[in-house]
Amino acid sequence: MRPKTVRVMGVPIDYGADRRGVDMGPSAIRYAGLHDRLRRIGHAVHDVGNITVPVPESRHPQHERMKYVDEIVKVNRVLARTVERALDDGTFPLVLGGDHSIAMGTVAGLLRRLPRLGVIWFDAHGDFNTEETTPSGNVHGMPVAAMVGLGHPKLRKPFLDRAVDPRKVVYIGVRTLDPQEAVNLKRSGATVFSMHEVDRYGMREVMARTLEIVGRETDGVHCSFDIDAIDPLYAPGSGTPYGGGLTEREAHLALELLAEADILTSFEMVEVNPILDDHNRTGKLAAELIASALGSRII
């Protein structure tokens, strides 16, 4: 991967999740030596700090089917402008979460400069719910639906009437979907490499197919990585763990292959929860995975 100026931005938000703690994710990842890892690869690093997020104790979830939706939308609109400015300045946006609801802001900002965006979504879950299908009301389960133009108008606000073509969205590592979410996702045209496909074809083949989809007829490629894509045996610091996930090495290989392709224009790491972690083991893994996506190699 060619050297870049990486603009790091943190979004310490946990409004979208059931469990507290992912608001500390950006600090945990930085503390694990993220900046030094990226500089050793040859990248310049510019950290702009965290977007201001009010604590949940000062707010109330007004909408039962979309908890804290107004607060989430407000934060995502700020994030979209921050990502847009990073692209305008010729830098590489690296977004640290926070829960996965922040992907709406990241992608909204990217779409303003890269209208034909390809998206690689590493996740145990589909995040394709709407206010009509969600069993929990947690907005971190809705960002992909919003970015392809589905769901409540409030969640689509940051996108300014832009949307990602679902045929340019590829999931990797999925292993649990809500019933109606699965139906809608299958109809959408997105490609889903569940853990079944990862086991059946191997990560090398999965990534080859992924790169073919997102690298063709797109202006850029965004990778959004939910740490729960990895099996909790390797990443215990996740608020929504689900067994049977990617191994640590499978995840590194996927991101190493992505770096080799050199088509990545932005990256996002979310859902690291230090409260549930073991001596920042998951925060360290997150920093290592980001480095792999940006070109780190063993030798």
Give the active site residues.
Answer: 100, 123, 125, 127, 140, 226, 228, 271
For residue 187, the tally of other CB atoms under 10 A from its CB is 9
Structure token pair of residue 148: 């392809």
Any idea how long the chain is? 299
Residues contacting 231, CB < 8 A, separation 6+: 243, 244, 245, 246, 247
Starting at the edge strand found earlier in the chain, the sheet holding 264-270 runs 44-50, 5-11, 92-97, 264-270, 220-226, 117-122, 169-174, 191-194
For residue 5, the tally of other CB atoms under 10 A from its CB is 13
Is there a contact between 116 and 128 (Cβ–Cβ < 8 Å)?
no
User: What is the enclosing helix (H) or strand (E) of 198?
Assistant: helix 195-201
Using CA atoms of 73, 147, 95, 9 in order, give the dihedral in degrees to the nearest 10.
-40
- Residue entry with tokens 């992505």: 258
What is the rounded CA–CA span in Å between residue 74 and residue 200?
A: 42
Structure token pair of residue 219: 């202006």
Backbone dihedral angles phi then psi of residue 88, each to the nearest 5 degrees? -60, -30
Among candidate residues 43, 122, 82, the one with its CA nearest the CA of residue 34: 43
- Residue entry with tokens 């679902």: 166
What's at 23, amino acid-wise? D
Among candidate residues 256, 276, 258, the one with its CA nearest the CA of residue 266: 258
Structure token pair of residue 290: 């980001």
